[in-house]
Structure 1
Amino acid sequence: MHPDRRGRSRVRNLALPLDAVTDAGFRALPDEAPLAMPVQSLSEAPPRGGRPASEPRGIVFRRLFVIGGAVAMTLAGGEKMYFVFNSNGPSILGILVLLLFVTLFAWVALAFMSSLGGFIAAMSGGGWRFGITQDGPLPELTGHTALLMPTYNESPARVMAGLEAMDESLIATGRGAHFTTFILSDTTNPDIWIAEEAAFLALRQRTGGETRIFYRRRAKNIERKAGNIAEWVRRFGGAYPQMITLDADSLMDGATIVRLAAAMEQNPGVGLIQTLPVIVNGETLFARMQQFAGRVYGPLIAQGITWWHGSEGNYWGHNAIIRTRAFAEQAGLPHLRGRKPFSGPVLSHDFVEAALMRRGGWAIHMIPALGGSFEESPPSLTDVAVRDRRWCQGNLQHVGVLPACGLNWVSRLHLLMGIGSYVTAPLWLCFLLAGVLISLQSRFVQPSYFGTTKSLFPRWPQVDPVLAKWVFIGTMAVLLAPKVFAYILLLFNGPLRRGCGGAGRAFLSLLLETLLGALVAPVAMLIQTSGVIQILSGRDSGWNVQNRDGDHVPFRIVWRQYWRYMLFGIVLAVAAYAVSPALFLWMTPVLLGLVLAVPMEMITASRSIGLALRRLGLLQIVEEHRPPTVMQRATAAHEVLRRQHAESGVARLLGSRRLMEHHRAMLPPPRRPGHDPIDAPLLVGLTKLQEATSLQAALSALSTSETAAVLGSAEGLDRLVALNVDCQTAPAAASR
């Protein structure tokens, strides 16, 4: 979409025939500019750098405020909890519950203090911004920045629509000549691969981007996304001082990209700047809950961690700008040692890359106040679980990175918090079950009042219900306080308040998100606990394709996935009620979420319910009320591109001479005997092609990996073309 002469927007012809391409000097990639990226050692640290020039003043006092406050809150809460269960002396179960409570409450208290710091910073107008503002004039640029779009079996329509919108937005800034886009494919599905190539060629044709939009597919996706980025750095990184990493659902406004590039140019000691991506385009109820929470609570949380992390920030893997030289010097990831699944390539690479870059002396920052950065949410709890299963393994891997030499203590805290984000799920479950055991003990076990020691007074092993009530209320207040802080900030932010439907609708949305989130939380806890147990038992997570579109899920599938959580909830409810009606009432929030697991998944995964709430103005965000131009353009392009006819990769390739020519031009160099490993799928695929008597027989005999290998081989393509010719000439010969 681009403006016409009257200033309106019109959609480009997104369905131009590929055979209209007439570029004789076709090049899918620019000249290589190699940049060394050595693998880093975790046992030896580089020389320490000095204090970053970009570190904010008073950072020591901010950290004392946050961490000291969390420690004080945890000690106070732990003391109260001790007297809840151990008022008449310690017991084994009482001490166990205390230890679990202290661990979990420390986690909650740190989040509370960080949010409080963010609230203070937001109310005072503070924040690290490099002196640039959202609405000021765009700065001039001197260097060149690469936009990297790694993709793995993603929808080409989604990827190309977003890239086209960003390309147009950059051109509109007048700084487009300073940016080059690379589509870095790790796709293994042959149909998606060929569709990617066709979409890339069509994108170039529509945008005139032959010199600024490039495509590369790796035949072997070694080390996944981290390896994909590292391969680009080693081949092309020398020509681009900065790079912006994206995800398939990433979208960034051109002005935001320009401001990030200028900030890197003006601050040579900064290695990475992370933006705060806003979740958009949610249609299912679950996705809309996520995007409302991210839009209302997210800035407060991000402001808080920015306030006290300072130059020891973190990296979230996308929608961030990175100094290429700093990344190449410090972020070469080693393979982790040990037993599977903790060994091997680093899966959650972003945290580790940020830690290594900071170890090397480079500052890592976040700018939550800079808008124009967007992403999307998985449409359901099931899709979140699929993604989290991989993240869980990656974060647990960080146990092997924690003792690395030379890491800044804040970087170690990032890694520890990443581990804790998944370990806390089984800890919450243990805390819950330990409470049930204490109730069982007090209900059915005959107490020993005097024990083995002589005493004039018995030791009554009782729970203090009044104190327990106040500890519960206090814990809930600490948990919910960040949402209250966020709502107060919303009231003072006119555009945000209006974009969320006004103060009243925003408050109702907050209540709805909190209620539904509380019902979903117990199931999410069990899913994460199951993932942790599977990983600790040695089961690898694999590399699953992320579902980004909300589709109706049949009841039988939801039932098959969630019936066990319902059963667990029913058993737990019966046991709690048998022990004590009071215990049953205390556990009602958890029990409801478990017993309603199946209907809650059906409801939250529903697009119709989500859209109905949007029509009522609930769970609404600013970007729906007034969509940014880049988002409108991406949405319009995606709607057109995804409706185009899809056919198999082989049929599409054999049916277009131009596509075949360009595909051949993009093939990797042939295998070097004696140097490169033997490609077993290719050998098997070529053998099957040699034995096949028809194209249909050949295609039915090839597996997915063999088809991809054959399509990546000049010899395999020649054989497919020959079979296709035979298929076309046979009917003609028969008619004669």
Structure 2
Amino acid sequence: MDVLTAAPAPNHAPDHALHPAMPEEKHLDMPEQNLFRFDPATERRNRTHKRALPWISRTLTFGGGLALTVWGGWQMYRVIDVGGITFLKWMLLVLFLANFSWIALSFAAGVVGFLHLLFARPKQPEIPKELKTRTAVVMPIYNEAPSRVFGALQAIYEDVQATGLGAHFDWFFLSDTTDPDIWIAEERALLALRRNLGPDARVFYRHRQKNTARKAGNIADFVTRWGGSYDHMVVLDADSLMTGHAIAVLAGAMENDPDSGIIQTLPLIINRNTLFARVQQFAARIYGPVIADGLSCWMGRDGNYWGHNAIIRTAAFAAHCGLPHLTGKPPFGGHILSHDFVEAALIRRAGYTVYMLPSLAGSYEESPPSLIDVAARDRRWCQGNLQHSRVIFAKGLHPATRQHFTTGIMAYVSSPLWLAQIAVGILLVLQASYIRPEYFSQEFTLFPTWPVFDAERSLMLFEVTMAVLLAPKLFGLILALFDGPTRRGGGGAIRLTLSALFETLMSALLAPIMMLVHAGHVLHILFGFDTGWEPQRRDDGSVAFNQIMRRHRDHVILGFIMLVAGMLISPSLVAWMSPTIAGLILAIFLSWASGQRSIGVALKKVGLLVTPEERNPPPIATRANALSQTFAAEGFDHADGLRAVYEDPQFREAHETFLPPAAPRVRGDIHPDRAMAEAKLNDAQTIDDAVKWMQRKERMVLLHDRALIGLLSRLPSGA
């Protein structure tokens, strides 16, 4: 067991009591699951699932989506069935069906969500009066600004305490941080947090020296070592905020439902200021509830997990969610990146239910601040979702689970499919204008098969496609206009409507850029390029303009090529593709503008893209922001880790007690980074030399090694 004596830092009052770094371990076995071996007889039988199959919602969603797809496919067939169907026309039909089926299903689910919210008006769940179980609230962190995450967790802790149920929760920072300065800042922030909360606060911290299997491995390490002490765990992200009411409701819901394995909330986006982030924040607040409620209605208790702001039954998770390593090399082999979908699939396969509480308020998150940031995040998500193509056919999975995997895969594969459909359409127009007709199809004819279309029906189908694509936005706007608090919180009916129109325009311009970005991601992954795992940028800073130029110059060039080619081929083609062409030509400007805080704040001042949570901030968000500023004022975030350990002997002692027991060294086993760090320490004449000479890997080795820390502490000061 790691034990920390929380020594007082300089200029601070001493801590009230000794605190362990982590509580006593209570292990749970977490066996690796076999995806393609499963005995149905081992599935847990439950009562609630059989009573609550949402057949009506599923029929409306999938039946409606299928009917709309069949109708659209038939209309497209009639469009191209003029003068015979060529090979390119068949390609266009197939691509249209693949793309239209995707948006038709989303439309049908949106209709279900709209009707449910309009007529059922789900009520806010009430907080339980008492709890009998224990829950761990865990926050995995990876190279995040400590002031943000520690401020957020303190705000959540205080809000849970205010419910009177705080004794049922323990709190854990699970650090996978690889930056030595941030690691030391986390430890210093923890000591400050414990001083703030007092001696009775059960707030703990664990740092892994090797972040094996990334976030999934981080959670698995906690479950196997400490999970046995807790009935449930609430999993947060580094940008998560949850009210005490929401966390207590989740704990009560799982306590009262022994069949539940995972209960997911719908996080709303808050605290965003850049143009791009504010567009996302507005869309998630106004349209998100319709989409989420439709999803919740049809999936029932066969749902999905998004990796955070959810509660999990710990023993069930340990028994059934040990992730296997996929054979082969990344990007399709190795450890599973998008672990949350797979964990939901495995726990559902075992007979536990997975469902969402979309009406539960008080669950929040943040979003990337710019187009480039979201593209970088989506690169990792794209690889994880495409990797699910190796999991989707696992034995024993529920059909709804396979649909979740399909949805995730299509979220990225749809981009190259749309791109291919556009390319085939252009080729057909080019063929009709400049290339001789395809004289011989599969059957002999006396006359050539000209690539012509039913123009009137084509226009009608285009209009229907746009209506299907935009309908969920309209549903969300209608519900917002009919809901008094949401309408007033969005600035009134006129500003709310103008905001929706602005968001729709921005989405239309950004869509072709994201189409090419996602298509590029898919192609890179198909060609075997693995993605990294860089920490997500969460601040409101803008991106350097030269970086924007490099990222989008090909998009702009392609936009001008499409414009010139379209004008040479057919002006009507340019009109048809104008949103795509405009978005690509303006890609650099749009990407630059997306990251500008000044533009987002200016729109806020005139009342556009405003959400109710922004006009009347949730108290927990206000408190978290204030605490983050307080932690930032301590100077931990940007301090040099080596100097912090060197200059504060009491903190140095605390840091050393965080470290696990040193493993015995094998004779002849010389670690290069340790040897280099030791050599530099022996050669250094002052602490300034050591700070200047130590590279990142050497710093990590030094800070994990008590003997090297001793050498560091004995160096003369530079003064």
TM-score calculated relative to the size of structure 1: 0.93
Further displaced range: 646-655 or 101-110: 646-655
Q: Which residue of 2 aligns with 1:718?
A: 710
How far is 1:61 from its partner? 3.1
Question: Does 2:183 align with 1:193?
Answer: yes
Question: Could you say which residue in structure 1 is the equivalent of 2:656?
Answer: 664
Instruction: Determine whether 1:85 maps to 2:69.
Output: no
Q: The residue matched to 2:215 in structure 1 has which SS?
A: helix
* Counterpart residue number, 2:114: 119
- Distance change (3 Å), C-alpha of 1:17 and 1:490: farther
Name whichever of 381-390 and 700-709 sits farther off: 700-709
- Shift of the 639–524 alpha-carbon distance from structure 1 to 2, 3 Å rule, reads same
Q: CA deviation at 1:715?
A: 1.4
Query: What is aligned with 1:21?
Result: 14
User: Following the alignment from structure 1 to structure 2, what is the Cα–Cα distance between the partners of residues 31 and 448?
Assistant: 76
Q: Which letter maps to 1:66?
A: T
Task: Give distance in 2, aligned partners of 1:568 and 1:604.
Answer: 21
In structure 2, the CA distance between the partners of 1:641 and 1:702, relative to structure 1 (3 Å rule), is: same
2:269 and 2:281 in contact (8 A); partners too: yes
Q: Secondary structure at the match of 1:642?
A: helix
Q: Does 1:280 align with 2:250?
A: no
Counterpart in the other structure of 2:67: 72
Structure 2 CA distance for aligned equivalents of residues 479 and 681 of structure 1:
55
Moved more, 440-449 or 110-119: 440-449
- Which letter maps to 2:118? M
Q: Which residue of 2 aligns with 1:99?
A: 94
The correspondence for 1:36, drawn from 29, 39, 62, is 29
1:734 matched residue in structure 2: none
**1:10 corresponds to which residue?**
none
Aligned positions of 1:495-510 closer than 5 A: 495-510=485-500
Which string of whole-angstrom CA distances, capped at 9 and with x for unpartnered residues, describes residues 271-293 of structure 1? Answer: 01000000001101111110110
Residue in structure 1 matched with residue 503 of structure 2 by the alignment? 513
Shift of 1:510: 0.5
Relative to structure 2, which stretch is displaced further, 448-457 or 118-127?
Answer: 448-457
Letter in 1 for 2:696: T
Bigger shift: residues 639-648 or 610-619: 639-648
2:598 to 600, 608, 613: 608
Of 645-654 and 326-335, the range deviating more from structure 2:
645-654
Q: Deviations over 1:114-145 (max 9, x none)?
A: 11111121122166xxxxx5374542111111
Report the alpha carbon displacement of residue 500 of structure 1 after superposing the two structures with TM.
1.0
Distance 1:310 1:727, change over 3 A: same
- Kindly provide the CA deviation profile for residues 414-460 of structure 1, in whole angstroms up to 9, marking residues without a partner as x: 11111111111111111111111111111111225677966576644
Q: 1:175 to 1:554 in 2, by over 3 A?
A: same
Q: 1:470 aligns with which of 445, 453, 460?
A: 460
Q: Kindly tell me: are residues 21 and 88 of structure 1, through their superposed partners in 2, closer, same or farther at Cα, counting changes over 3 Å?
A: farther
> Residue 149 of structure 2 corresponds to which residue in structure 1?
159
Q: Is the 8 A contact 1:336 1:342 kept in 2?
A: yes
State whether residues 431 and 451 of structure 2, in contact with CA within 8 Å, keep that contact through their aligned partners in structure 1: no
Give the match's secondary structure for 1:20.
Answer: coil
Amino acid at match of 2:154: E
Percentage of matched positions with identical amino acids: 45
Correspondence for 1:302: 292
Distance, in Å, in 2 between the alignment partners of 1:169 and 1:163 is 10
Question: Is the Cα contact below 8 Å between 2:432 and 2:450 reproduced in 1?
Answer: no
Name the CA distance, whole Å, in 2 between partners of 1:311 and 1:24: 45
Would you say 1:706 and 2:698 are equivalent positions?
Answer: yes
In structure 2, relative to structure 1, the CA distance for the partners of 1:470 and 1:52 (3 Å cut) is farther
> Against the structure 1 CA distance between its residues 381 and 500, is the aligned structure 2 distance closer, same or farther, given a 3 Å change threshold?
same
Shift of 1:552: 2.9
Seen in structure 2, the aligned counterparts of structure 1 residues 447 and 281 have a Cα distance that, compared at 3 Å, is: same
Pairing 1:416–2:411 present? no
Deviations 1:516-556 (A, max 9, x none): 11111111111111111111112111111100011133332
After superposition, residues 258-337 of structure 1 pair within 5 angstroms as 258-337=248-327
Partner of residue 531 from structure 1, selected from 497, 521, 541: 521
Cα distance change, pair 448–666 in 1 and its aligned pair in 2 (3 A): closer
* Worse-matched range after superposition: 689-698 or 702-711: 689-698
Q: 1:660 to 1:624 in 2, by over 3 A?
A: same
Residue matched to 1:3: none
Distance 2:10 2:132 in 1: 37
Distance 2:445 2:645 in 1: 89
DSSP 3-state at the match of 1:569: helix
Instruction: Structure 1: state its 5+ residue gaps.
Output: 1-14, 128-132, 732-736
Could you tell me how far 1:680 is from its partner in structure 2?
A: 4.7
Separation in 2, partners of 1:38, 1:451: 58
Residues 224 and 677 (structure 1), Cα distance of their counterparts in 2 relative to 1, 3 Å cut:
farther
2:544 and 2:114 map into 1 onto residues whose CA distance is: 43
- Once superposed, what is the RMSD of the aligned Cα atoms? 2.1
Q: Distance in 1 between matches of 2:330 and 2:575?
A: 43
Asked if the contact 1:118–1:301 (Cα under 8 Å) also holds between the matched residues in 2, the reply is: yes
1:217 to 195, 203, 207: 207
Alignment of 1:639 with 2:629, yes or no, is yes
CA distance 1:686–1:675, change in 2 (3 Å): closer
Q: 1:159 to 1:56 in 2, by over 3 A?
A: farther
Equivalent pair of 1:501/1:618 in contact (CA under 8 Å): yes
- Does structure 2 retain, via aligned residues, the 8 Å contact 1:139–1:258? no
Displacement of 1:697 in angstroms is 3.1
Q: Does 1:488 align with 2:478?
A: yes
Q: Once the 2 structures are TM-superposed, how far is the Cα of residue 642 of structure 1 from its aligned partner?
A: 2.5
Report the CA distance shift for 1:51/1:24 in structure 2 as closer, same or farther (over 3 A): closer
Q: 1:353 aligns with which of 343, 350, 361?
A: 343
Measure, in 2, the Cα distance between the counterparts of 1:137 and 1:45.
38
Name the residue aligned to 1:12.
Answer: none
Retained in 2: the 8 A contact 1:150–1:248? yes
After superposition, give the CA deviation of every residue in 1:335-355 in whole Å (9 maximum; x if it has no partner): 011342211111100000000
Decide whether aligned partners of structure 1 residues 44 and 572 sit closer, same or farther in structure 2, where only a CA change above 3 A counts: same
Question: Aligned-pair distance for 1:675?
Answer: 13
Q: Which amino acid aligns with 2:469?
A: L
1:595 partnered with 2:588: no
What amino acid does structure 2 have at the position aligned with 1:641?
F
Going from structure 1 to structure 2, the CA distance change for 1:680 and 1:410 (only over 3 Å counts) comes to: farther
- The AA in structure 2 aligned to 1:223 is A
SS of the aligned residue for 2:324 comes to: coil
Equivalent position of 2:226 in the other structure? 236
Q: Which string of whole-angstrom CA distances, capped at 9 and with x for unpartnered residues, describes residues 217-249 of structure 1?
A: 000000000000000001100111010001111
Asked whether the equivalents of residues 286 and 476 of structure 2 are also in contact (C-alpha less than 8 Å), the reply is: yes
TM-superposition CA deviations, 1:149-177 (whole Å, max 9, x none)? 10000000000110010011011111111
User: CA separation in 2, counterparts of 1:487 and 1:281?
Assistant: 22
Shift in CA distance, 373/324, structure 1 to aligned 2, threshold 3 Å: same
User: 1:11 is matched with which residue?
Assistant: none
Following TM superposition, by how much is the alpha carbon of 1:55 offset from its aligned partner in structure 2, in angstroms?
Answer: 5.6
Q: Which residue is equivalent to 1:130?
A: none
Contact conserved, 2:382 with 2:521, CA < 8 A, in 1? yes
CA contact (8 A) 1:19 1:658 kept: no
Q: Which moved more, 1:61-70 or 1:319-328?
A: 61-70
Q: Which amino acid letter does the alignment assign opposite residue 42 of structure 1?
A: L
What amino acid is aligned across from residue 647 of structure 1 in structure 2? A
Deviating more after overlay: 590-599 vs 339-348: 339-348
- Kindly tell me: are residues 228 and 277 of structure 1, through their superposed partners in 2, closer, same or farther at Cα, counting changes over 3 Å? same
Task: Return 5+ residue gaps in structure 2 as ranges.
Answer: 1-7
The question of 1:437 aligning with 2:427 is answered: yes
1:204–1:210 CA contact under 8 A, matched in 2: no
Q: Contact 2:643–2:691 at 8 Å: present in 1 too?
A: no
Q: Tell me, in whole angstroms, the C-alpha distance in 2 between the residues paired with 1:492 and 1:282.
A: 25
